[in-house]
Amino acid sequence: MGSERMEMRKRQMSVQQELVPGTTAPGQNEQPSQGNRGSNACCFCWCCCCSCSCLTVRNEDRDERNRRASYDFKAEGNADLEESLKPTAEEVCLWGQSFDKLMHCPAGRSAFRQFLRTEFSEENMLFWLACEEFSKETNKSVIEEKARIIYEDYISILSPKEVSLDSRVREVINRNMLEPTSHTFDDAQLQIFTLMQRDSYPRFMNSSAYKNLLKTVSEQSVES
């Protein structure tokens, strides 16, 4: 009897020892499953983060395009508005006296801009107008943003609307762009103004466009 009990206890102990690994095995099997869930969760989080990052970039690009379009519309919109202005005979006569008088007259700038368009140099007037608008800005963050836009549109050699500037002025602009102010493009604006005055203005005064306009407004003035 004693030996049977001993034998029975050995078998029980043996079974218990076998059950211990058996009971822990499911837990061990579940850990990889948990690991997989964790891995999936990480992948899911990574995908979400990636998607959010892409969405953020797209939103920033869209905002940048909207800001740029808004500024371009304002700069060129002012010029387009001038095109609808009808000059008087007195104003057209004054244009012939000096380039300054032409440029100080909205209708004069409009007529001159249309002439520049026929010579494929309209960007000179657009740049000058953009600089005029830019020089009135006082908000530092807006100045930095508009300075970059003007640079990309008219100064960069990659721009289809690049204006003709000498190396000295370009160096000045590049230095100024490190900390843009409302005077960043003053030298460039003056140089383009001088270029239009010496080169395009005399041709405009001798063009059929100016002569026909002067004749038309003079006749209308007599009739009225």
pLDDT tens for 12-26 read 555 444 444 444 444
Judge whether 124 lies within some domain. Answer: yes
As a residue count, the chain comes to: 224
Can you say whether the dihedral through the CA atoms of 96, 100, 101, 107 is positive or negative? positive
Judge whether 55 lies within some domain. Answer: no
CA 21, CA 174: separation in Å to the nearest integer? Answer: 75
Judge whether 112 lies within some domain. Answer: yes
Domain containing 197 equals 89-221
Judge whether 28 lies within some domain. Answer: no
Judge whether 38 lies within some domain. Answer: no
Q: What is the 8-class DSSP label of residue 153? A: I
Number of domains in the chain: 1
User: Nearest 5 degrees, angle CA 71-CA 72-CA 75?
Assistant: 85
Judge whether 67 lies within some domain. Answer: no
Judge whether 17 lies within some domain. Answer: no
Judge whether 35 lies within some domain. Answer: no
Q: What is the 8-class DSSP label of residue 88? A: P
Please name the residues in contact with 86: beta carbons below 8 A apart, sequence gap of 6 or more. 107
Q: What is the pLDDT of residues 74-110, one digit of tens each?
A: 555 555 655 667 899 999 999 999 999 999 999 999 9
> Tokens 């001038």 correspond to what residue?
82
- Where residue 120 sits, what CATH number does that domain have? 1.10.167.10
Q: What is the pLDDT of residues 13-68, one digit of tens each?
A: 554 444 444 444 444 444 444 444 444 545 545 455 555 555 555 655 665 555 55
* Average pLDDT over every residue of 176-196: 97
